[in-house]
């Protein structure tokens, strides 16, 4: 840590030879003050040579200032002569480090002043060690923060606190070397900008530091020489009624010594809580950033630069991972285009419901809260909840009717065949009758008309039966009673090639058409339900980070019901994670209201809510979560995003 900058103020009455001042080993700013003039505003590290009256006034002033640091200022008393008596309380005050007069030898004067200056120079030894420890603690805090905007805000807050800066700004460089303004804070205006990303010109001070990696320490921003390779823009000052004076701009570098950001500190103050409301306040309380402030800023910048790069890398990895998940979901849904978008809607809906639950204070929900990491974990679990469908046959995934298309086509052909065989058999019987009885032409025509009327009636019957099949082939959302018309189709028989009686529907066809709900038979439904287990198996193979370790378990339970009637493990309420309960409501609601299901039309919102409430009354879904879901209007997100 560099030695503290010192300042020497000497009253005009003190007869100190210039040669003595030149001998001093501690380099200091030297000024003369008049005995009757007010003592100027003092900065830490000031040694004053004062007459007793001046010293008493200063000591009284400093003692009454609760924010003052007595170790930051030292006084040497100058008396008129050796025999001049001094007040003991004055001589014994901690700020007084010595007494001089005109009779003192040059070496005595030199030694007294040198000791006083050295005391001030090293007064911050313990403080410097404490400051260094603070910088290290802050570095550890910064390294643990992964959110970029929060990290940038923390860097500004800590930097202002460590250097007594009134304001601070921070900039970041992108991969192409472009510099962007991100955040700023200002104590006197109580201003904090929201996170933004504004391109910064290369001739600004921050732009110059970004290009060169140099530290720029400006005593007065409005007095920058025209020959300087950078410029200060007073536009912000004008817009908020502020006066920037001292400015310290340091680069934030990564472990490879590359500039990744810029930290700019504005107006170093003698007192941290003073407001710079007027130009007079600025003139009285703002000082240049000294070597110690610069050293502290650089130490913090070193920590912040690494933390900034880590945060950016973390964000890049997170973005990469998000892209991988999105691509995976799209690849899965490409196998079943009719449900495309379902996983994304469920994820958005689940996230919205989780936020509403986090804010709810109803019975059973007051103690439920989700961290940012848990929200991310839940969102990913919702996106990947149907990941296991890659293990389900595509024809089962896209089955929109109770019968597959080829099965229905076979039935239609069978109905045509039935009509043809009935006609063939009828004509055969008419021919046999003619051969046996030698019917007259009138009798033959009459019999033929009877047969044709019968065939027309049979044709109408077969058409009615086919319409029954087509109607029964349409799946329903809720369980419905099977029409008795299907029994008539089952009982109908037509003659085969050898005269045997054949049914219009095979047993497996009749079984599928008799499904009271949905389009899947028992075997197909079992295969569809296996996607949950496949999801668990696939997701369990991924080495999730600590913050995402529960993701497979959350996705695994999204089809479980509170009463144990769900699948695949038949868990009960106490065994189901709250995240999975939230996702269950989201999944059911989207399945009911989505217009993209092949086996049903979209249900109105009111009907979908009625079905969910029925599930809640039966003890299958959580009624408290459903109440929040409805009262918070979170479910409208799904409708709006259709």
- What is the per-residue pLDDT across 460-499, written as a single tens digit (0 to 9) for each? 999 999 999 999 998 876 655 556 788 899 999 999 888 7
Burial 459-487, CB ≥16 within 10 A → b, else e:
eebbeebbebbeebbebebeeeeeeeebe
Instruction: Name, in order, each residue with C-beta under 8 angstroms of 129's C-beta and a sequence gap of 6 or more.
Output: none
Residue 640 pLDDT: 43
Taking alpha carbons only, the member of 516, 521, 494, 490 closest to residue 505 is 490
Taking alpha carbons only, the member of 84, 114, 74 closest to residue 13 is 84
Residue 291 pLDDT: 85
Residue 45 pLDDT: 81
Q: Which helix (H) or strand (E) holds 613?
A: helix 605-617
Residue 119 pLDDT: 76
Q: 325-339, 428-442, 541-555 — which one is most confidently predicted on average?
A: 541-555
- What is the per-residue pLDDT across 539-550, written as a single tens digit (0 to 9) for each? 999 999 899 999
pLDDT-derived band at 43 (thresholds 50, 70, 90) equals confident
The average pLDDT across 340-347 equals: 90
- How many CA atoms lie less than 13 Å away from 287 in the CB half-sphere? 19
Taking alpha carbons only, the member of 259, 377, 255 closest to residue 310 is 255
14: left (phi over 0), alpha (psi -120 to 50) or beta: beta
CA distance 32 to 429: 140
- What is the per-residue pLDDT across 500-513, written as a single tens digit (0 to 9) for each? 899 999 999 999 99
The average pLDDT across 330-355 equals: 87
CA distance 387 to 145: 31
Length of the chain, in residues? 642
Please, are residues 528 and 392 in contact by the beta-carbon 8 Å criterion? yes
The average pLDDT across 17-27 equals: 77
Q: 136-140, 245-249, 520-524 — which one is most confidently predicted on average?
A: 245-249
**Is the predicted pLDDT of residue 77 greater than 80, yes or no?**
yes
More confident of the two residues 425 and 105: 425
Taking alpha carbons only, the member of 602, 608, 606 closest to residue 589 is 608
**φ and ψ at 387, to 5 degrees?**
-55, -35
Q: Where are the alpha helices (DSSP H) in 92-232?
A: 106-121, 125-143, 148-163, 205-212
Please, are residues 75 and 90 in contact by the beta-carbon 8 Å criterion? no
The average pLDDT across 58-62 equals: 86
Domains 6-123 and 127-313 share a fold: no
CA distance 560 to 536: 13
**Is the predicted pLDDT of residue 641 greater than 90, yes or no?**
no
Residue 635 pLDDT: 82
CA distance 170 to 175: 17
Please, are residues 359 and 375 in contact by the beta-carbon 8 Å criterion? no
Q: What percent of the chain has pLDDT over 90?
A: 45
Please, are residues 546 and 377 in contact by the beta-carbon 8 Å criterion? no
pLDDT-derived band at 396 (thresholds 50, 70, 90) equals confident
Helix (H, G, I), strand (E, B) or coil at 365: coil
**Is the predicted pLDDT of residue 642 greater than 50, yes or no?**
no
| Inter-helix orientation angle 623-631/342-359, to 10° | 100
Q: Which helix (H) or strand (E) holds 77?
A: strand 73-78
Q: Identify any residues that bridge with 28 across adjacent strands, giving them in sequence order.
A: 6
Q: What percent of the chain has pLDDT over 70?
A: 91
- What is the per-residue pLDDT across 276-308, written as a single tens digit (0 to 9) for each? 999 999 998 999 998 888 888 888 888 888 888
More confident of the two residues 125 and 320: 320
Residue whose token pair is 């804070």: 185
Residue 32 pLDDT: 87
pLDDT-derived band at 639 (thresholds 50, 70, 90) equals very low
Taking alpha carbons only, the member of 611, 556, 574, 614 closest to residue 589 is 611
Instruction: Give me the torsion for CA of 141, 147, 150, 152, rounded to 10°.
Output: 80
- Please state which CATH number belongs to domain 335-395+524-640: 1.10.3210.10
DSSP one-letter code for 219:
S
Residue 377: cis peptide before it, omega within 30 degrees of 0: no
- What is the per-residue pLDDT across 567-613, written as a single tens digit (0 to 9) for each? 999 999 999 999 999 999 999 999 898 875 666 678 899 999 999 99
Q: Where are the alpha helices (DSSP H) in 438-521?
A: 441-472, 485-491, 507-513
Q: Are strands 73-78 and 96-100 parallel, antiparallel or unpaired?
A: parallel
Residue 267 pLDDT: 96
CA distances from 5 to 23, 43, 231, 293 (A): 17, 10, 27, 10
pLDDT-derived band at 150 (thresholds 50, 70, 90) equals confident
The average pLDDT across 3-13 equals: 77
Please, are residues 182 and 312 in contact by the beta-carbon 8 Å criterion? no
**Is the predicted pLDDT of residue 432 greater than 90, yes or no?**
no
Q: Where are the domains of the chain?
A: 6-123, 127-313, 335-395+524-640, 405-517
- What is the per-residue pLDDT across 344-395, written as a single tens digit (0 to 9) for each? 999 999 999 999 999 888 777 888 999 989 999 999 999 999 999 888 888 8
Q: Identify any residues that bridge with 169 across adjacent strands, giving them in sequence order.
A: 184, 264
The average pLDDT across 44-65 equals: 85
Average pLDDT along the chain: 87
Residue whose token pair is 């950033």: 289
Q: Fold for domain 127-313?
A: Beta-Lactamase (3.30.450)
**Is the predicted pLDDT of residue 309 greater than 90, yes or no?**
no
Q: Which two tokens stand for residue 284?
A: 């009285």
Residue 611 pLDDT: 95
CA distance 271 to 277: 14
**Is the predicted pLDDT of residue 435 greater than 90, yes or no?**
no
Q: Fold for domain 6-123?
A: Rossmann fold (3.40.50)
């Amino acid at each position: 840590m560099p030695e503290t900058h010192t300042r020497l103020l000497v009253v005009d009455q003190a007869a100190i030879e210039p040669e003595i001042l030149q001998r001093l080993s501690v380099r200091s700013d030297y000024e003369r003050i008049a005995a009757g003039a007010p003592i100027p505003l003092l900065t830490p590290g000031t040694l004053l040579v004062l007459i007793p009256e001046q010293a008493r006034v200063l000591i009284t002033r400093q003692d009454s200032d609760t924010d003052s640091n007595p170790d930051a200022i030292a006084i040497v008393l100058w008396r008129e002569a050796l025999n001049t008596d001094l007040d003991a309380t004055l001589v014994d005050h901690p700020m007084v480090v010595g007494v001089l007069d005109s009779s003192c030898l040059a070496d005595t004067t030199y030694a007294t002043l040198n000791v006083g200056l050295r005391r001030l120079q090293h007064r911050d030894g313990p403080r410097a060690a404490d400051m260094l420890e603070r910088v290290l603690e802050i570095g550890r805090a910064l390294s643990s923060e992964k959110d970029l905007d929060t990290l940038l805000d923390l860097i500004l807050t800590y930097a202002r606190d460590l250097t007594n800066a009134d304001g601070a700004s921070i900039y970041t460089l992108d991969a192409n070397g472009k510099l962007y303004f991100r955040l700023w804070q200002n104590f006197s205006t109580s201003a904090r900008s929201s996170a933004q990303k504004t391109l910064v010109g290369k001739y600004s001070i921050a732009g110059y530091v970004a290009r060169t990696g140099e530290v720029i320490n400006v005593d007065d921003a409005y007095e920058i020489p025209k020959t300087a390779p950078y410029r200060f823009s007073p536009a912000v000052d004008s817009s908020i009624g502020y006066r920037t004076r001292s400015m310290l701009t340091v680069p934030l570098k990564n472990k490879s010594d590359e500039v990744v950001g810029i930290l700019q500190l504005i107006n170093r103050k003698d007192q941290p809580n003073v407001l710079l409301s007027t130009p007079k306040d600025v003139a009285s309380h703002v000082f240049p950033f000294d070597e110690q402030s610069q050293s502290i800023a650089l130490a913090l910048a070193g920590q912040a630069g690494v933390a900034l790069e880590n945060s950016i890398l973390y964000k890049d990895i997170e973005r990469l991972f998000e892209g991988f998940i999105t691509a995976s979901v799209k690849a899965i849904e490409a196998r079943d285009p009719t449900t495309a978008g379902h996983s994304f809607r469920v994820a958005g809906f689940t996230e919205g419901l989780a936020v509403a639950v986090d804010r709810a204070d109803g019975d059973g929900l007051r103690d439920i809260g989700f961290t940012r990491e848990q929200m991310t974990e839940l969102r990913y679990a919702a996106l990947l909840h149907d990941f296991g469908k890659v293990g389900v046959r595509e024809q089962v995934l896209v089955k929109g009717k109770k019968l597959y298309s080829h099965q229905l086509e076979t039935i239609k052909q069978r109905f045509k065949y039935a009509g043809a065989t009935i006609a063939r058999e009828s004509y055969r019987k008419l021919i046999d009758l003619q051969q046996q009885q030698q019917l007259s032409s009138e009798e033959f025509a009459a019999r033929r008309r009877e047969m044709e009327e019968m065939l027309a009636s049979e044709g109408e019957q077969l058409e009615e039966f086919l319409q029954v099949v087509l109607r029964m082939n349409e799946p329903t959302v809720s369980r419905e009673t099977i029409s008795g018309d299907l029994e008539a189709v089952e009982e109908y028989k037509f003659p085969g090639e050898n005269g045997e009686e054949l049914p219009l529907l095979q047993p497996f066809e009749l079984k599928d058409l008799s499904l009271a709900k949905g389009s899947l038979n028992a075997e197909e439904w079992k295969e569809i339900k296996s996607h949950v287990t496949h999801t668990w198996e696939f997701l369990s193979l991924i080495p999730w980070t600590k913050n995402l370790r529960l993701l497979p378990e959350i996705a695994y339970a999204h089809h479980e019901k509170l009463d144990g009637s769900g699948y695949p493990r038949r868990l009960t309420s106490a065994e189901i994670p709250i995240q999975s309960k939230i996702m269950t409501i989201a999944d059911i609601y989207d399945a009911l209201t989505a217009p993209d299901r092949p086996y049903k039309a979209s249900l109105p919102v009111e009907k979908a809510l009625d079905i969910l409430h029925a599930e809640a009354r039966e003890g299958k879904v959580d009624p408290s979560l459903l109440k929040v879901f409805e009262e918070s209007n979170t479910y409208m997100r799904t409708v709006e995003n259709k």
